[in-house]
Amino acid sequence: MAILIGGAWPYANGSLHLGHIAALLPGDILARYYRLKGEDVLYVSGSDCNGTPISIRANQENTTVTAIADRYHTEFVDCFHKLGFTYDFYTRTDAQHHHQSVQDIFLKLLDNGHLYTKKIEQAYCTVDEQFLPDRFVEGICPNCGAKARGDQCDNCSAILDPLDLVDKRCKICGTEPEIRETEHFYYEFSKFQKELEHYVEHAEQANAWRGNAIQLTKRYLTEGVPDRAVTRDLPNGIDVPVPGFEGKKIYVWIEAVAGYYTASIEWGKQHGVAIDKWWNAETTSYYVHGKDNIPFHTVIWPAILLGLNSEALPKHIVSNEYLTLEKRKLSTSQNWAVWVPDILQRYHPDSLRYFLTINAPETRDADFSWREFIYSHNSELLGAFANFVNRTLKFIEKSFDSKVPQTAVDKGMQAQIVELYKEVGQKIESGSSKAALDTIFEFVRAANRYFDDEKPWITVREDVAACEKTLATCTLLIQNFAVLLKPFLPFACEAIEEMLQIRGEAWAPQLNLAEEVVNVAPLYERIDVKQIDEELEKLAANEK
Ligand SMILES: [Zn+2]
Ligand SMILES: [Zn+2]
């Protein structure tokens, strides 16, 4: 079975924070799980390197758009690698292949008759000699009188047209822009209204989208999807490949969401593989992102695919709610955020993966607090899981000369863990990583109770056969945890496999006992709770 997984494209004008990872992590869990199941997984994403905010930042720092994009793309790649993300292809939207494929898509939409041109008025700066993107125009909000950007007023949330602003100014040089006529391509989104309505109804019946995606998409469709300009007068981006439109760029609405497809094309070329099986009506696809990205994946991208006569519409929408920080909304401008490069310097990637999954903002906002994070590591990840592994394997090392007793295991415990594969698998497939991990950890706690009840530290002296059975059973459970937890805690699972000299490559019950243990070492270290206050102080000190 072909499984396409598309992770949202982070915008390359600033570092990743935990909110990004909370939204993107379900994609890696799905990819790892389906690969273990033996499916043909294609997991793609990349850095979004075009658009206005990067231009603004480049202007502010007196550098180039490419320099900014390079800096953050490199940082993203490093963070994803350290977190164990297993993208088959992680690219960027300023790559040559992406430009080429997007231009092909644009021309096909034009050929298919879904693009038309329209003359509109737009702000033009005679000093900078360019049309100004919406966000480059600043002035007074006509609605509330506050200072506002051309696209939206932060004070009253009104969606604005830059020409509506009072006392308009160019953000780059501060002079008043002229109003000039310019011509743009519009996409006939309205023509796909009916098809999109059917599509959402079908998704709702199939229970294939998160509730927030269904609700938000229905609201957009009730309001009616208007035709939108899909080209812009922008300083950077993908050129409109039509004579007479030189200097104009294809807008992010077409260009960025098309990245899933263009990345697939390029990956196929590099590997000599036809990508059709990941892009047809039967393909199981997952689109993984935060809730602010929902309409791009449930309205814009499907409408473009329909315009291309493609039947590969997104199947599953895995759209997490937001992550708050210490009960407050994350704010990058106020530096109220935990930055990924920073937290990875001091904490284990599994700790992050565990916390952001077991507390995932799946159906409502979830909170990251340093206290909860450190306690969840110490009491659950280390206290329940890692300790079970360590106490079992250490016992074997010490009392059985590192040889796993080759004896019959407890049938009840074995039956229970075998049962888990189906239950956990179904939960992962339905996009509920949190419930899946919860289910496994419930059994981790049961495994600890089993160890306690069997008291091998007593039977080792009084009833060796019973002791051997206990340790054989616990070892078998550990071998199965190393598979069941692989999508969630890949680093610990790898360490277990090294200690037991095994390799679990398939999502299937492991029933052959490992033979010996080598180099038994704790999976994780305890985190000093003093760090809670240190982290909170640092957070407060860095807030702007
Ligand atoms: Zn306003
Ligand atoms: Zn200017």
Question: Ligand 1 centre and the CA of 164: distance in Å?
Answer: 11
pTM more than 0.75: yes
Q: Identify residue 180 by its one-letter amino acid code.
A: R
Q: Which two tokens stand for residue 74?
A: 């490199």
Q: What is the pLDDT of residue 135?
A: 84
Q: How far is CA 369 from each of CA 206, 328, 374, rounded to the nearest angstrom?
A: 35, 10, 9
3-state secondary structure 126-169: CCCCEECCHHHEEEECCCCCCEEECCECCCCCCECCHHHCEEEE
Q: What is the pLDDT of residue 56?
A: 78
Question: Ligand 2 centre and the CA of 411: distance in Å?
Answer: 76
Tens place of pLDDT for every residue, the chain, 544 residues?
999 999 999 999 999 999 999 999 999 999 999 999 999 999 999 999 987 778 878 888 999 999 999 999 999 999 999 999 999 999 999 999 999 999 999 999 999 999 999 999 999 999 988 888 888 899 999 999 999 998 888 888 777 889 999 999 998 889 999 999 999 999 999 999 999 999 999 999 999 999 999 999 999 899 888 898 899 888 789 999 999 999 899 998 899 999 999 999 999 999 999 999 999 999 999 999 999 899 999 999 999 999 999 999 999 999 999 999 999 999 998 999 999 999 999 999 999 999 999 999 999 999 999 999 999 999 999 999 999 999 999 999 999 999 999 999 999 999 999 999 999 999 999 999 999 999 999 999 999 999 999 999 999 999 999 999 999 999 999 999 999 999 999 999 999 999 999 997 899 999 999 999 999 999 999 999 999 999 999 999 999 8
Q: How far is CA 416 from each of CA 101, 225, 383, 480, rounded to the nearest angstrom?
A: 50, 50, 22, 11
Q: Which residue has the tokens 């006569």?
A: 309
Q: Which two tokens stand for residue 330?
A: 């994350």
Q: What is the pLDDT of residue 172?
A: 85
Question: Ligand 2 centre and the CA of 213: distance in Å?
Answer: 39
Question: Ligand 1 centre and the CA of 157: distance in Å?
Answer: 6
Question: Ligand 1 centre and the CA of 140: distance in Å?
Answer: 8
Q: Identify residue 68 by its one-letter amino acid code.
A: I
Q: What is the pLDDT of residue 53?
A: 79
Question: Ligand 1 centre and the CA of 349: distance in Å?
Answer: 42
Q: What is the pLDDT of residue 155?
A: 85
Question: Ligand 1 centre and the CA of 144: distance in Å?
Answer: 4
Question: Ligand 1 centre and the CA of 135: distance in Å?
Answer: 15
Q: How far is CA 342 from each of CA 15, 75, 317, 444, 540, rounded to the nearest angstrom?
A: 10, 11, 30, 30, 15
Question: Ligand 2 centre and the CA of 61: distance in Å?
Answer: 16
What is the CA angle 199-203-204, rounded to 5? 120
Q: Are 492 and 451 in contact (CB under 8 A)?
A: no
Looking at the CA of 177, which ligand is closest? 2
Q: Identify the DSSP state of 242.
A: S
Q: Are 137 and 169 in contact (CB under 8 A)?
A: yes
Q: Which two tokens stand for residue 33?
A: 């799980």
- Indicate the angle between helix axes 464-484 and 411-429, nearest 10 degrees: 10
H helix count then E strand count, the chain: 20, 18
Q: What is the pLDDT of residue 208?
A: 95
Strands 137-140 and 166-170: antiparallel
Q: Which residue has the tokens 């899909």?
A: 230
Strands 166-170 and 228-229: unpaired
Looking at the CA of 137, which ligand is closest? 2
Question: Ligand 1 centre and the CA of 332: distance in Å?
Answer: 22
Q: What is the pLDDT of residue 223?
A: 87
Q: What is the pLDDT of residue 130?
A: 83
Q: What is the pLDDT of residue 537?
A: 97
Q: Identify residue 332 by its one-letter amino acid code.
A: T
Q: Which residue, among 438, 429, 432, 347, has the nearest Cα to 83 in the 3D structure?
A: 347
